[in-house]
């Protein structure tokens, strides 16, 4: 160890590092609030801590045992339901040496991001890592340590002691310590930010001086007093540094000094000017400031909060705009890093620069407690450790645990928003200055801040409750709904499901079925299973959970409220769906049964074959009626899903289900049900009759177009399946139902168009059916078909009035043209039709028959005279055969027209003859000329003979 005294002579000594028993785990405090068995009424938070002392518990994996693991009664009253988790949780630190709390006691501590430092009243300094694993135990002083400081980089540390010395060492070599003796008790020490290079520090104590110390070029210590004008204000109680602002407190005031310029920025007196001798509770102030340690925290890089006794000051450091410090030639060596080296070098100069910053007091208020420690909290909040202000002169506060209060500083006056009484070990023997409150932020791991309450007998970690803590807190109090709501943020899917099931069971036990129906789908929701390929365990819990919950709901008889939310992907156990369907079936809730049979069959969520058998038995046992129809519809759905169409069709026939047509067409199954073809074809009729009552008494009373509109699917069914069903058998089936002849006609008519070969054997029947039901289509049928019996057709047409055209066609077809012509003339009295009929046959004999048959019929005579004379003698024969006394309207004009046409024809013919004659003469003359020409022959030895004409 190296010791430096005021005469600047030094000596080296070594101090061995003591062996410390390592205890690296924490023990959570099961309770932190206790006042002689009674909780304080001043607690503002909603969750008072349990009323018993903290106990040592076994170490856990993370070094803590959460107080939310306490067993609580599952039956909560209304107050418990409204109760919220506490803001803070507490855990005892057991990793520090046991002798600190038994033979020795902690007098001061410091929490740096690289190391923690604990000083004791015996002069020991215990250094640990942030996880409390030991680094070194050093004997730095002969008596109590009052101050610890670390440079910005965490490379060097300094301690000040009541023995009047300052010890400085490096963490890399903690046993190599340099000691500086100031002969007076040291209350505060602060290292320069760049101590490694500057070897500068500031200290102060009972002497009342703020001393800047540095080694000169000879290696001797050089001291400069920074507060010469303030030496009469009592001892220096604390010294702090924020960037290039030095802060110290003495008995009367708080002083801010600018390091580069050695200028005093601000001095705040301790006592209020208006009421200097009154405590916060209005009692006479007999408590001197020097009896209390000042406390400071830096919430931001430009803000300072100081707590001292019952008073709090908020300061802000701001830069002076457009101001540049003026320096003389003697100041050019001032360090730009704003460290103490610049302050020391400036001490030798008679000129000072102008500071470029300003310190402003933003707020000053008094708290209802005497402060034992304070630190910044989040969102402009301040956490304070202390004791209530009383009118007693006694400041030991023995037999009382300290209070941990949280204040909101956003308003004009601080608002207390949280309060705990923290009962550390043997707190009955401790006074206010025996407590220390520190803050640590793990920058590397980006963890929330931790707070440490250190006393001479105990060490406690204070943490803000995180979501996982809230989760465990709710679980411990059987408040499963709140636990479930935040579970997705803190636990895996399995734990989420377990907590949700606990809540649902809680609702079931309490009989709150409405919430059960509402919450079950939300809690047992498959969307939370994010990786379906890894959800074996989750799915097992989910299935069992659904099964248990639904069993309870089924027993309550209110499954309807939740059944729509039962998941189907991934599949739950079949038994879950089976139970629901069994419930609906046994309860005769057939509409619901049918609904979910249809909904779930497509996904095969239940035992389909089992319900097929059950439904078939139900159909046999039940009488015809609506209930039986429900059973049939359900079993049809199951058969169709399994593509067992042959099983479904008989039930569909009974149900008059029109879907049967799609199945028969797509699956080619009509031939299997040919015996039931009439029942199948009649399904649309029954369906239409059910949905819109007919205005006709029977099918035979209906018009054909109306029948066709109703039986469209039936007619298409036969047409599509014409190769799979015998037309003969079809007709035989219809013959058993004489009231369906019109439908048969429409079917045969459609078949004769789609495939004429199928109806060839039945054309005679079609002739009769056309005659009975569609006479306007008979003639076309007779003209387009050729396999019917003509004689029978003639007979049928002869017996039915109004079928003259059909008879004319039939007579003409068998060569009885004269009979046909006579029918036209006598029955139809249609001269134009008669003339066209004769022309269509091209028979001159039939033409002569028509002329002779028409001599006594003026209408026919006029029509013949006006018609074209294709045979050249028609008009002449008609005129010759006319009787002299016959009267024909317009005969004169008709004959005149005939004469003009004949004359014109004669002229045209003569001209044509002349043209033909002229062309004949020309062609004959050219032929004769060619015949009179000779021929020349040229004989070539190597070629064929070549003819030449001349």
Domain ranges of the chain: 90-321+354-464, 819-889
d(CA 762, CA 42): 108
Q: Which of 531-545, 684-698, 786-800 has the highest mean pLDDT?
A: 786-800
The tens digit of pLDDT for each residue in 625-673 reads 889 999 999 999 999 998 999 999 999 999 999 999 999 999 999 999 9
pLDDT of 303 over the 90 cut: yes
Span 90-321+354-464 CATH architecture? 7 Propeller (2.130)
pLDDT of residue 273: 62
d(CA 325, CA 479): 63
The enclosing H or E element of 305 equals strand 303-308
Tokens of residue 254, six digits: 């708080």
pLDDT of residue 14: 30
Q: In terms of pTM, does the model score above 0.75?
A: no
pLDDT of residue 692: 61
Tokens of residue 539, six digits: 């799915």
Residues near 488 by beta carbon (within 8 Å), at least 6 away in sequence = 496, 528
Average pLDDT value for residue range 355-364: 91
pLDDT of 208 over the 50 cut: yes
Q: Work out whether strand 221-225 and strand 210-215 pair parallel, antiparallel, or are unpaired.
A: antiparallel
% of the chain residues with pLDDT over 90: 39
Residue pointed to by tokens 């300072």: 304
pLDDT of residue 905: 64
d(CA 230, CA 866): 152
The enclosing H or E element of 731 equals helix 727-735
What are 306's strand-pairing partners?
Answer: 296, 313
What are 947's strand-pairing partners?
Answer: 937
Mean pLDDT for all residues in the chain:
78
d(CA 144, CA 239): 18
d(CA 768, CA 772): 6
The tens digit of pLDDT for each residue in 595-611 reads 999 888 888 888 999 99
d(CA 630, CA 761): 45
pLDDT of residue 227: 86
The tens digit of pLDDT for each residue in 487-507 reads 989 998 888 889 999 999 999
The tens digit of pLDDT for each residue in 48-65 reads 333 333 434 333 333 333
Peptide bond into 570 cis (omega under 30): yes
pLDDT of 89 over the 80 cut: yes
Backbone angles phi, psi at 536, to 5 degrees: -55, -50
Check if the beta carbon of residue 729 is closer than 8 Å to that of residue 674.
yes
pLDDT of residue 550: 85
pLDDT of 73 over the 80 cut: no
Tokens of residue 424, six digits: 């550390």
CB atoms within 10 A of CB 133: 11
The tens digit of pLDDT for each residue in 710-724 reads 999 999 999 999 999
Average pLDDT value for residue range 538-544: 78
């Amino acid at each position: 160890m190296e010791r430096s005294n005021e005469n600047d002579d030094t000596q080296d000594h070594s101090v061995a590092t003591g062996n410390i028993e390592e205890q690296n785990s924490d023990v959570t405090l099961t309770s932190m609030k206790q006042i002689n068995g009674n909780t304080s009424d001043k607690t503002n938070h909603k969750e008072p801590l349990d009323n018993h002392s903290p106990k040592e518990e076994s170490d856990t994996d993370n070094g803590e045992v959460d107080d939310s693991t306490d067993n609580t009664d599952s039956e909560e009253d209304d107050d418990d339901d409204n109760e919220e988790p506490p803001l803070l949780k507490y855990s005892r630190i057991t990793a520090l040496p046991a002798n600190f709390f038994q033979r020795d006691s902690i007098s001061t501590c410091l929490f740096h991001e690289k190391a923690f430092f604990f000083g004791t009243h015996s002069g020991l300094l215990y250094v640990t890592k942030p996880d409390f694993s030991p680094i070194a135990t050093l004997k730095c002083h002969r008596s109590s340590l009052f101050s610890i400081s670390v440079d910005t980089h965490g490379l060097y540390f300094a301690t000040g002691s009541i023995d009047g010395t300052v010890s400085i060492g490096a963490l890399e070599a903690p046993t190599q310590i340099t000691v500086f003796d100031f002969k007076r008790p040291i209350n505060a020490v602060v290292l320069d930010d760049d101590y490694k290079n500057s070897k500068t520090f500031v200290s102060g104590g009972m002497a009342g001086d703020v001393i800047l110390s540095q080694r000169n070029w000879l290696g001797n210590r050089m001291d400069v007093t920074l507060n010469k004008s303030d030496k009469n204000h009592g001892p220096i109680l604390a010294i702090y540094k924020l960037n290039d602002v030095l802060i110290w407190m003495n008995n009367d005031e708080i002083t801010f000094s600018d390091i580069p310029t050695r200028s005093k920025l601000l001095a705040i007196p301790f006592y209020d000017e208006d009421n200097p001798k009154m405590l916060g509770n209005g009692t006479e102030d007999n408590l001197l400031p020097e009896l209390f340690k000042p406390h400071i925290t830096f919430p931001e890089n430009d803000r300072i909060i100081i707590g001292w006794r019952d008073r709090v000051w908020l300061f802000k450091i701001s830069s002076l705009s457009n101001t540049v410090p003026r320096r003389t030639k003697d100041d050019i060596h001032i360090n730009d890093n704003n460290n103490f080296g610049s302050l020391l070098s400036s001490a030798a100069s008679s000129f000072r620069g102008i500071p470029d910053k300003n310190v402003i007091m933003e707020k000053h208020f008094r708290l209802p407690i005497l402060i034992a420690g304070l630190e910044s909290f989040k969102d402009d909040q301040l956490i304070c450790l202390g004791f209530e202000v009383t009118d007693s002169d006694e400041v030991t506060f023995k037999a009382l645990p300290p209070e941990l209060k949280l204040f909101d500083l956003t308003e004009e006056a601080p608002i207390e928003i949280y309060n705990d009484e923290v009962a550390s070990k043997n707190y009955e023997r401790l006074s206010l200055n025996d407590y220390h409150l520190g803050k640590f932020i793990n920058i590397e791991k980006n963890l929330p801040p931790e707070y440490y309450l250190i006393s001479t007998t105990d060490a406690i970690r204070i943490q803000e409750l995180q979501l996982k803590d809230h989760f465990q807190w709710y679980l411990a109090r059987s408040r499963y709904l709140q636990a479930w709501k935040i579970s997705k943020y803190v636990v895996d899917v399995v734990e989420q499901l377990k907590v949700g099931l606990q809540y649902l069971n809680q609702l079931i036990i309490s009989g709150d079925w409405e919430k059960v129906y509402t919450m079950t789908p939300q809690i047992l929701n498959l969307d939370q299973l994010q990786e379906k390929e890894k959800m074996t365990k989750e799915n097992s819990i989910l299935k069992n959970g659904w099964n248990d919950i639904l069993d309870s709901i089924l027993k309550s008889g209110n499954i309807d409220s939740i059944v729509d939310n039962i998941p189907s992907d991934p599949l739950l156990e079949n038994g879950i769906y089976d139970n629901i369907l069994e419930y609906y079936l046994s309860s005769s809730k057939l509409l619901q049964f049918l609904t979910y049979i249809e909904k779930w069959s497509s996904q095969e969520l239940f035992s389909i074959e089992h319900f097929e058998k059950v439904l078939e038995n139900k159909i046999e046992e039940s009488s015809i009626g609506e209930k039986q129809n429900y059973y049939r519809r359900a079993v049809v759905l199951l058969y169709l899903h399994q593509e067992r169409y042959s099983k479904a069709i008989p039930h569909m026939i009974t149900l008059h289900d029109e879907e049967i047509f799609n199945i028969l067409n797509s699956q080619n199954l009509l031939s299997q049900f040919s015996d039931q073809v009439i029942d199948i074809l009649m399904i649309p009729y029954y369906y239409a009759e059910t949905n819109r009552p007919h205005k006709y008494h029977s099918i035979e009373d209906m018009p054909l177009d109306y029948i066709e509109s109703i039986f469209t699917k039936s007619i298409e069914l036969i047409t599509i399946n014409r190769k799979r069903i015998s037309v003969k058998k079809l007709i035989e089936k219809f013959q058993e139902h004489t009231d369906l002849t019109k439908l048969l006609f429409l079917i045969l008519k459609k078949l004769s168009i789609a495939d004429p070969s199928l109806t060839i054997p039945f054309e005679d029947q079609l002739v009769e059916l056309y005659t009975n039901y569609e006479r306007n289509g008979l003639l076309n049928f007779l003209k387009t078909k050729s396999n019917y019996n003509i004689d029978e057709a003639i007979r049928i047409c002869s017996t039915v009035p109004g079928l003259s055209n059909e008879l004319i066609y039939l007579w003409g077809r068998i060569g009885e043209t004269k009979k046909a012509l006579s029918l036209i003339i006598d029955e139809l009295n249609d001269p134009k039709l008669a003339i066209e009929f004769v022309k269509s046959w091209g028979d001159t004999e039939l033409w002569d028959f028509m002329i002779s048959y028409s001599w006594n019929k003026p209408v026919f005579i006029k029509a013949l005279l006006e018609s074209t004379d294709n045979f050249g003698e028609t008009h002449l024969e008609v005129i010759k055969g006319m009787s002299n006394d016959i009267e024909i309207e317009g005969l004169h004009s008709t004959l005149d027209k005939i004469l003009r046409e004949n004359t014109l024809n004669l002229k045209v013919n003569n001209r044509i003859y002349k043209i033909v004659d002229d062309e004949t003469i020309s062609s004959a003359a050219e032929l004769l000329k060619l015949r009179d020409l000779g021929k020349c022959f040229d004989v070539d030895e190597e070629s064929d003979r070549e003819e030449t004409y001349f």
